[in-house]
Amino acid sequence: MASKFLQFYGHDFLLGSIAAFYVLMVPYTKVEESFNIQAMHDILYHRYHLDNYDHLEFPGVVPRTFIGALLVSILASPIVLAMQLLHMPKIYSLIIVNLAYGHWLKGSFYTALNYLVFATIIFRCDIVLLLSPLGLELLLTKSISFWKALKCCTVTTLLCIGLTMLVDSITWKRLLWPEFEVFWFNSVLNRSSEWGTHSIHWYFTSALPRSLLAGYPPFVLGVLFDRRLLPLVLPVLSFVVLYSKLPHKELHFIISSVPIFNLSSAVAASRIYNNRKKSFWKFLNLIMLGLLLISLGYTIVSFMASYENYPSGYALKKLHQIGHVSNKTKELWVHIDPFSAMNGISLFCENESPWRYSKEEGITHEEFCQRNFTYLIKIKSPECIFMEILKMKSLCLKIGQDALKLSGFILMGKRTNGMKACSIAFQMAIAANTCTQP
């Protein structure tokens, strides 16, 4: 029984174990994943109380659909319920695209197109850049009928638009098709460039090498070794080329291309290994082994970097550990600045009463002195944060207050964009006459 399980599901089990290891070791998220993380939290904990949902206060640049978060929350709800009873404290589209790839490889072309339409309409409008070359190839090779494909894709499109507008208009409290607004913002208005741009070759010279690692050089060889791969690689390669024209580039934009490129690399690696006893192939086999060792080393280094790349998440965790010890008040009110909220802190990191949290933006130093915040979590350089402390202390004294007592520092030095940053959670313990809320 066990041997059959490993035979059929061994690779899936291995990949799932690796993913679970990363989740357990690095349970924090950056701003790119913040919407779906907060949405899942709100669905699981606030349920139908929409007024309490985080996205209404912090909507982000463009709206995103709740459908993915809703599906995951439904699957996770039994676990969350069990945890509550025990008193325990950019990916959806990739899943759909992988399902489309599976049906494509099996010859179920219409089903594959429907999956890609679903992913385009609901999760990532840019998947149309993959859908278009794939559909064109299937038409040119006469693998599908134009009218039948048009009919089935049109029906799927209308159903998906109706589904996303129904769910997201309710959750966002306005008539909304999220991915249409994303398309308009990124492609028509080209506003995404305001968040940085890269050169046209960046996906091929930076993003894909970091994603494929040892699989990047051999994926071209795979096409040369087995011509059956060309119809698979060509539409995906076209997807990356078309996406390269958008000035704003991020790795997760083209992450859907990685499975097919890995498939081509695997074919090349298999051919090299099977012919390793021949002189020239033996040399290629040694190169492949070297690339695998380099990939392993890079993976270890990148994991360590990821582990250290969520300073505010670790700061909040440490604050929860020492908060009750250093402060005996009934309520512990924490203010989280925008940079901290984007570098490791999500709603899942928050504790229940007596802890309260605020992510209010634009608070001046004078206002901080008039609030009853127990702790502040900020990401600043050490020099900047100490200057802020001195300034806030002088302001409190200037407005007639006593002293501002600062204690319970948590400094967690991290490397962020080549500059040393630190997360500091510090207690504002106020005496009887100091800095009270008006």
pLDDT tens digits, the chain, 438 residues: what are they? 667 766 777 777 787 788 778 777 777 776 666 677 777 777 776 676 677 677 666 666 677 777 777 777 777 766 665 544 443 435 677 888 889 999 999 999 999 999 999 999 998 888 999 999 999 999 999 999 999 999 999 999 999 999 999 988 988 888 999 889 988 888 888 888 887 889 999 999 999 999 898 889 888 888 888 888 999 999 999 999 999 988 888 888 898 999 999 999 999 999 999 998 888 888 888 998 998 999 989 988 888 888 888 888 888 888 887 766 555 557 788 888 888 887 778 777 777 777 888 887 777 767 776 777 778 787 654 445 445 555 555 544 444 433 333 333 343 433 333 333 334 444 333 332 233 333
Q: What is the pLDDT of residue 206?
A: 92
Q: Which of 156, 147, 71, 142 is nearest to 113 (CA)?
A: 156
Contact 431, 405 (CB under 8 A): yes
Q: What is the pLDDT of residue 1?
A: 61
Contact 110, 117 (CB under 8 A): no
Q: What is the pLDDT of residue 383?
A: 45
Cβ-based neighbour number of residue 10 at 10 Å: 11
Dihedral angle computed from the Cα positions of residues 337, 343, 348 and 353, in that order, rounded to the nearest 10 degrees: -30
Class of residue 64 by CB neighbours under 10 A (exposed 0-12, middle 13-18, buried 19+): buried
Paired residues of 411 in beta bridges: 424
Q: What is the pLDDT of residue 86?
A: 41
Q: What is the pLDDT of residue 276?
A: 86
Q: What is the pLDDT of residue 328?
A: 59
Which two tokens mark 342? 């984007």
Instruction: In whole angstroms, give the CA distance from residue 254 to residue 258.
Output: 8
Q: Which of 136, 101, 106, 137 is nearest to 116 (CA)?
A: 101
Q: What is the pLDDT of residue 214?
A: 87
Q: DSSP letters along 255-291, please?
A: GGGHHHHHHHHHHHHHHHHHTTTSHHHHHHHHHHHHH
Instruction: In whole angstroms, give the CA distance from residue 143 to residue 346.
Output: 46
Q: How far apart are the first and last CA of the chain?
A: 69
Contact 37, 310 (CB under 8 A): no
Instruction: In whole angstroms, give the CA distance from residue 222 to residue 228.
Output: 10
